[in-house]
Amino acid sequence: MNKGTDRTPLTREFFDRPVLDVAPDLLGRILVRSTDEGRIELRLTEVEAYAGEVDPGSHAFRGRTPRNSVMFGPPGHSYVYFTYGMWHCLNLVCGPEGMASGVLLRAGEIGVGAEMARKRRFSARHDRELAKGPARLATALDVDRALDGSDVIAGPKAALSVLRGTPPPRDQVRSGPRTGVGGDGSHQPWRFWIDGDPTVSPYRAHAPRRRST
């Protein structure tokens, strides 16, 4: 990790903005996960924006449910969901409150605590694959539903927090369609990543699963 990285936690105001402002601005920030075993730090390299109840790709599209209720609460909190029967994904809720918008954290580079991440991600061949993909990121950082609703601006001692880090130059930020989102939500360029970064997950077009016969 760069010397001179800004280790100040992000503020509530940072998250209390429209999701399309917050999402690209999260690139290069440092996500800190603290557990009994130690600390893992990850530099965010890929994210996706989900624009609340107006976005067909969003869990909040059909309104508030017990699972997604955190998305409707104050910005600066984590929303963790369980999917495909096996995996967790980590999101950060953005403002304004009640909009139910969030940013899916899709990939990052582990700078501190790689040993712990390797233990949890034993099948990864290279360190750049430890958090390449949203479920891998959550697995590497030991994130599950127990962390749903965590306040991420409480400082680096909290279970989950985000520090200012070092955002990339504007011309290194790319955007494109979101991964795995079909239907009306598929054409918005709401996926953001750092150009050329080896930890960015490969794009896969949305492919409807075959009907079982």
Partner DNA sequence: GGCGGGATGATCT
Partner DNA sequence: GATCATCCCGCCA
Given 82, 97, 156, 173, the residue binding DNA (CB under 7 A): 82
Determine the size of the site formed for DNA (CB under 7 A): 43
The secondary structure element, H or E, covering residue 9 is strand 6-9
Give the tokens for residue 9.
């936690």
Given 155, 182, 189, 198, the residue binding DNA (CB under 7 A): 182
Strand pairing class (173-176; 160-165): unpaired
Q: Which is nearer to DNA, 4 or 66 (CB)?
A: 66
Report d(CA 127, CA 125) in Å as an integer.
7
Question: What single-letter amino acid sits at 179?
Answer: T
CB of 171 to DNA, least distance (A): 26
Give yes or no for residue 91 binding DNA (CB under 7 A): yes
Backbone angles phi, psi at 168, to 5 degrees: -70, 160
Given 29, 33, 43, 59, the residue binding DNA (CB under 7 A): 59
Given 135, 152, 162, 200, the residue binding DNA (CB under 7 A): 135
Helix (H, G, I), strand (E, B) or coil at 54: helix
- Which one of 8-16, 28-36, 74-82, 168-176 is the stretch in contact with DNA (CB under 7 A)? 74-82
Helix (H, G, I), strand (E, B) or coil at 183: helix
Contact 208, 87 (CB under 8 A): no
Give yes or no for residue 169 binding DNA (CB under 7 A): no
Given 108, 113, 134, 165, the residue binding DNA (CB under 7 A): 134
Backbone angles phi, psi at 171, to 5 degrees: -75, 0
Q: Which is nearer to DNA, 164 or 174 (CB)?
A: 174
Report d(CA 26, CA 28) in Å as an integer.
6
Residues that bind DNA (CB under 7 A): 48, 50, 57-60, 62-63, 65-68, 79, 81-87, 89, 91, 102, 104, 121, 123-124, 133-137, 139, 178-182, 201, 209-212
